[in-house]
Amino acid sequence: MRAPVAVKERIAVLDIIRGFALFGVLLVNMVMVNHLMGEFGVGLDVLSQPARLAQGLERDVAWVVRVLFQGKFYTIFAFLFGLGFHLFLTRGQAQDENRRLFVRRLAVLFGIGVLHIIFVWWGDVLATYALIGFLLLLFRRTKLAAVRTWALALMLLSFAIVVAVMSMTVAMHAQGADTTATLAAAMEKYLSAARGVYTTGTYLELVQYRLQHEFLLVLFNTIAILPRILGLFLFGLYVGRLEIFKHIETNLPRIRQAWRIGVGVGAVLSLGHVGLQLGWFDAYLGTFVSGIMAILLHELSTPFLSLFYVTSIVLLWQRGVLSGLFDGFAALGRMALTNYLVQCIALAWLFYGHGLGLMGISIVYIPLMTVGIYAAQIVFSRWWLGRYTQGPAEWVWRRLTYGSLGGSSEQPSAGA
């Protein structure tokens, strides 16, 4: 029977990238937990319209999070998911067994995601990744050029969907502050009820509300973001097939070129996005067209900035710099599922009424809180992995995927 990958067989830089990405995920998730699901749906959250909905230092922090963090790190995780799919299916020669195990692996991940949505918070991605992950099996024998074509086409489709979905909200906001206030007032009954449950309700009341009003919406959202996630999965599969991460030294010219593209195109698109949202081009384009183009440029900038982050990590790691920091990232990345779940549980306790009830605090405090939680997770991860071979959530996931292995390294045995 196949066993999970041993620690010595892991590609070290991928764990570093996962661990690094967890910081961005934590930061953006903290902003999202600080808002209601309904606010994100109609652009009433601080990240959607920093120039309109925030002032002073709050606006500056919101801009930094929106431009440099929002969407970038989930993009990295989706890319790594597709890359991991390739690595999983190409271990050994038993391709049919690999496929069956991957299906079981996705089924377990979907179960974890469903429990996460119900009992922790609405911003889960695990169930979404699992559902869309089943579609990856359709591409396991697709030719390399066709995988690239599918990935590009799906990403372009996703950009079109986002623009189409957000056009109505942009149209309302483009009419000015009065219309934004009218939209907020129209949503207030729904938002007030949700806010009451999230800020003063008991834990059981919150779970019940989530089941009745949010659970199906979260799963339905999978349809809307399917092209984006599957496209990113396929880019990961494409890079995996090229074996760039298996042979980094020989692929350094290609990686450096990708870095230049990522930073150059990402910076230009991000600058254009900020300028459009700040109204620099309203006199020429009108507020509606400027708003639509701002969303489009933000969406287009996301994969390029993600590319910049990933290639920067690879190039710095290859040069042997920041080794102490990268060791901490690697520890987080080796138990990424555990750390992601712990992050979300901690945020729900910090912000919701059954915990400390911090929902509604200024975004100014969120980066500081993020650094504190992230640093604590590095310390914990290094301590845990000094004693065990994998994180507790990883052990459960792999145990349910592979079944009982009779005392093999799949179990979280104490380290030497």
Quick: pLDDT tens for 281-301: 888 888 888 888 988 999 999
Give whichever of 91-100, 258-267, 406-415 has the largest mean pLDDT: 258-267
**Into how many domains does the chain fold?**
1
Tell me the C-alpha distance between 42 and 207, whole Å.
Answer: 23
> pLDDT tens-digit profile of 153-198?
999 999 999 888 877 777 666 665 555 566 667 677 788 889 999 9
Mean pLDDT of the residues in the chain: 88
The amino acid that residue 273 corresponds to is H
Tell me the C-alpha distance between 385 and 335, whole Å.
Answer: 9
Burial 53-73 (b: 16+ CB within 10 A, else e): bbeeeebebbbebbbebbbbb
Looking at per-residue pLDDT, the higher value among 286 and 364 belongs to 364
For residue 208, being part of any structural domain is answered with yes
Residue 218 class from Cβ within 10 Å (0-12 exposed, 13-18 middle, 19+ buried)? buried
Contact present, 353 and 206 (Cβ < 8 Å): yes
For residue 251, being part of any structural domain is answered with yes
Tell me the C-alpha distance between 338 and 161, whole Å.
Answer: 32
For residue 120, being part of any structural domain is answered with yes
Phi-psi region of 10 (alpha: psi -120 to 50; beta: other; left: phi over 0): beta
Residue from 382, 321, 383, 305 nearest 15 by CA: 382
Looking at per-residue pLDDT, the higher value among 49 and 29 belongs to 29
Q: What pTM was estimated for this model as a whole?
A: 0.90
For residue 412, being part of any structural domain is answered with no
Tell me the residue range of the domain where 253 lies: 7-402
For residue 409, being part of any structural domain is answered with no
* Residue 181, pLDDT score: 62
Tell me the C-alpha distance between 152 and 145, whole Å.
Answer: 11
pLDDT band at 40 (very low <50, low <70, confident <90, very high): confident
Residue from 276, 305, 328, 260 nearest 69 by CA: 305
For residue 1, being part of any structural domain is answered with no
For residue 288, being part of any structural domain is answered with yes
Residue 394 has pLDDT above 70, yes or no: yes
The mean-pLDDT minimum among 162-171, 187-196, 243-252, 376-385 falls in 162-171
For residue 411, being part of any structural domain is answered with no
What's the average model confidence in pLDDT over 106-134?
Answer: 95
pLDDT band at 411 (very low <50, low <70, confident <90, very high): very low
